[in-house]
Amino acid sequence: VNIASTEPFAGLMPTHQSIGQFEEGLAKDDPAISAGMLYAYAALAAKVPYVNFTPSTTVDIPALMEFADVQGVVIAGKDGKTGQTLYKTVLAPMFQLRNLRVSGWYSTNLLGNDDGYVLSDPAHLQQKVASKLEALAPILGYDDVDHQVDIHYYAPRGDAKEAWDVIDFVGWLGAKMSMRVNWLGQDSILAAPLVVDLARLVWFAQQRGERGPATQLSAFFKTPLNTREHNFFEQTRNLMMYCDSASRRNGGD
């Protein structure tokens, strides 16, 4: 399970395109291969299931997706959904189902732990913000929303992350309304049980002979691999159905 600091990413390069090119890159120490990609490659080479709990680009490059398939290894990611995006993907379906048109969603975060410190560097921040922006449009079904996300390193908060959201929406007859959310979470307390469950669930999937992206685990991630399903209720239902069918097949409960 990758839980290292969020890495910068300069975009897809030729080295990332196929496992052949990636291995050539490895041989010549290509700087386009990040530490996160190297760890992912090592896990796949050892046929060990791999989870990316961070927003860093690691196994989700064409070369390593191909390698996961060739090696028959289960992979999952990316970026644990533990706080703001968790409640965003719970609230957004409500607006969508009630036909309340979201015009703007401003999300800010105050974070004072080491993760927050690393993210105060714009190069490291970029992939985190991209990941936090992902969920809204696929749930709402439209993307003309002024969706903004920022993260501030604010040392006094420590691991107690504070998130603020302002949601502007329009109802019947064009009436304008607004909602405020204030989340006071404990970052590591929210993340650690998910990491334990993920380790058990990818191992279980591997034992069942699955390979490649474990889409049944989308509820755990801000940017789930190989699926556009972001609605937390649908994601959880998919996981329940998966567990149900797996336990039936195993003849147990």
Contact residues for ligand NAD (CB under 6 A)? 3-6, 35, 53-55, 79-80, 82, 113-115, 118, 128, 187-188, 190-191
In terms of CB distance, is 188 or 247 closer to ligand NAD? 188
Q: Minimal distance in Å, beta carbon 52 to ligand NAD?
A: 9
Cβ atoms < 10 Å from Cβ of 228? 11
Q: CB–CB of 195/52 below 8 Å?
A: no
Q: Minimal distance in Å, beta carbon 113 to ligand NAD?
A: 6
H-helix segments, the chain: 19-27, 35-45, 62-71, 84-97, 114-119, 122-133, 136-140, 187-207, 232-249
Structure-block tokens of residue 193 = 């049980």
Q: Minimal distance in Å, beta carbon 208 to ligand NAD?
A: 26
Distances (CA, A) of 96 to 141, 142, 160, 175, 208: 8, 10, 31, 16, 36
In terms of CB distance, is 19 or 86 closer to ligand NAD? 86
Q: Which of 114, 104, 184, 180 is nearest to 149 (CA)?
A: 104
In terms of CB distance, is 118 or 246 closer to ligand NAD? 118
Distances (CA, A) of 55 to 59, 60, 125, 168, 172: 11, 10, 10, 27, 38
In terms of CB distance, is 95 or 221 closer to ligand NAD? 221
List beta partners, residue 147.
105
Q: Torsion angle of alpha carbons 139, 140, 145, 150, nearest 10°?
A: -30
Q: Minimal distance in Å, beta carbon 166 to ligand NAD?
A: 22
Q: Minimal distance in Å, beta carbon 91 to ligand NAD?
A: 19
Q: Minimal distance in Å, beta carbon 247 to ligand NAD?
A: 29
> Which one-letter DSSP state was computed for residue 2?
B
In terms of CB distance, is 53 or 169 closer to ligand NAD? 53
Q: Minimal distance in Å, beta carbon 170 to ligand NAD?
A: 32
In terms of CB distance, is 4 or 137 closer to ligand NAD? 4
In terms of CB distance, is 35 or 155 closer to ligand NAD? 35
Q: Torsion angle of alpha carbons 241, 59, 43, 23, nearest 10°?
A: 150
Phi, psi dihedral angles at 52 (to 5 degrees): -105, 105
